[in-house]
A and B are shown apart, each in its own frame.
Chain A
Amino acid sequence: GAVVSQHPSRVICKSGTSVKIECRSLDFQATTMFWYRQFPKQSLMLMATSNEGSKATYEQGVEKDKFLINHASLTLSTLTVTSAHPEDSSFYICSVEGRRHTEAFFGQGTRLTVV
């Protein structure tokens, strides 16, 4: 199966700074990647769909200017949390849809703590 690498796994940053999270598809080219956020003891919430070569599609309530997504190549999507605040502290995870739509492969996740 496909391998998805997400980096970093943990990051602590100061309030007001920006943090970039990378999601790489190692086995195949992914035209679409998904970004999720999970608050403690809650479910994953889809934030946005990252489309290679075009703008990301954001879910309702997700600020596109705060969560910048770049999908510049078929193997890499990045999520940048800009001007991070403590309330942005969360677990962020990316996923890639497999060649068959029945497959989904997930990154290891990034635990962001904003202090």
Chain B
Amino acid sequence: KQEVTQIPAALSVPEGENLVLNCSFTDSAIYNLQWFRQDPGKGLTSLLLIQSSQREQTSGRLNASLDKSSGRSTLYIAASQPGDSATYLCASARSNDYKLSFGAGTTVTVRA
């Protein structure tokens, strides 16, 4: 059974600081890994999808890396803004059945 862990559970930074969010998973046989953003009371918005054959994906200020051998993914958010305040969840899809397993998320607060 895939276990996905996100540390820390919460993070508070001043505006302009770079954010580093960590995700670890126990089963390295993954099909892909996806990072989502969730605003309070809202659904999930997909940020980045990394296929198992890829090492990283970038979109604007966001960069996500994937290291299957160590069971880790990291989401970097450059030059954080108050609008980046949200909960960020990572989820891995297993190779055998593509089921998504989610971490509990990291809640980010960017202080103006």
Q: A and B bound?
A: no
Q: B residues near A, CB below 8 A?
A: none
